[in-house]
Amino acid sequence: MSLKLGLIGFGTVGSGVYERLVQSKDEIKQLLGKNIEVAAILVKDRQKKRVVDVDAFVTTDWDEFTNAAQFDIVFEAIGGVEPAFTYTAEWLSKGVPVISANKKLIAEKGQLLEEIAEKQSTYYGYEAAVAGGIPIINNLKGTLATTSISRISGILNGTTNYMLTEMIEKHRGFADVLLEAQELGYAEADPTDDLEGYDAWYKIRILSRLCFGKWPVADEFPRKGVSEIKDWHVEVGERLGFKIKLIAEAWKAESKVSGQVTPAFLTQTEPLANVRGVTNGIAIEGSSIDKLLFIGPGAGKEATANSMVEDFLFHERSYNTKRGLGSVEKQVEETYTYMFIFLDHSERDEALNWAKQNEIAIVDTFSHHEGEGWIMEGTEASPFVTYPIFGDVSTRNRLKTVHSAQFGAF
């Protein structure tokens, strides 16, 4: 007896899944006691030249694909909400499990798809949708299933982390690094999802569901990307020993789950500050575990394909997909207590009046030829360019003026 597998999509991820399944068929048989066979592949363009030799029925026609076999499982490796949602919902409604790497689909429609899967006593797996090669989803479902979690945070977008790392370590300008990221294939021709924080926003909503037992309301998770970061903001932070990162986080405060995606400065005491380049990092906090840190490749053909296949094996051996809200856990009131405000020289008087009116303490100020940076206590909403600061601000390097103008034009 063999398991019949279907594959939707045969691009970078889809071809990687196929290769991984073929290479691992003996190990999979040993684990599951069954042979596997990729019976059919649904592609967008049948004439497209493919690097991988395929021993399966390949079609562009949905009806041909659905009738090609009695599938035991389907891998969905395309992007976007449609037609991926329609395809996924149809298979789940038939009781056929689906494994996906489609973060946008899962964030936007995951609750409905999980409900369909539960009604049909099947499963919907999405390990590969978050942090590529890091096995975070199934750790939350399996090993940490009863562990109460108060906060999860992470660097979930490799493109922006690569760009910010280059800006910090090599004193390069935003525009220059973005162009290189596109040339290296880290950023798309249209990098909006990465730069405006959408990619990380989808992923933190998925992680929030796994940590806190329910799907978050999208509007309650504000999102801010990196496109408004100025080169001199990065420079001032770097001179202080701070590193700017795009941080996605979710936390439980009383009975409510909150979250956000925002650029933030991390001090030397923060483990995620050392996550460099295209690497992803995730920190999980709770009273019984203190802090767990996961670091690894956030994307890539092999890493993502590996996660999809391991997701399949995890679910075949265990149908544990539920996680409830932890009942005994310290609530998180604030995730940071300091903020970094950047001002044009013309905004100085206005900022002083704002701080006085709101009784906000100015901890330190730094001068740059393009403006000023102020470290301030509190989390008050600011009319100026503001970044949270995570970690111990007392570890900052001591300086008053940053004269350098090494960074390129924004």
The answer to whether 257 touches 380, Cβ cutoff 8 Å, is no
Render the burial of 170-196: b for 16+ CB within 10 Å, e for the rest.
ebbbbebbbeebeeeebbeeebebbbb
Find the angle CA(199)-CA(272)-CA(263) to the nearest 5 degrees.
50
Long-range pairs of 180-187 with CB within 8 A, sequence gap ≥ 24: 186/158, 186/159, 186/162, 186/278, 187/159, 187/163
290: β partners? 286
Q: For tokens 């409830």, name the residue.
A: 324
H or E element that contains 388? strand 385-390
Catalytic, 44? Answer: no
Name which of 359, 336, 337, 351 is nearest 385 in CA terms: 351
User: What CA–CA distance (Å, rounded) separates 258 from 267?
Assistant: 23
* Residue 208 contacts residue 202 (beta carbons within 8 Å): no
Sign, CA dihedral 253-256-257-260, equals negative
Torsion of CA 133, 324, 77, 222, to 10 degrees: -80
- Tokens 């544990």 locate to 320
| Helices (H), ranges, 213-273 | 231-240
Amino acid at 8: I
Read off the DSSP letter of residue 199: H
CA distance linking residue 4 with residue 260, whole number of Å = 41
Residue of 203, 230, 243, 245 marked catalytic: 203
Q: Which residues are catalytic?
A: 203
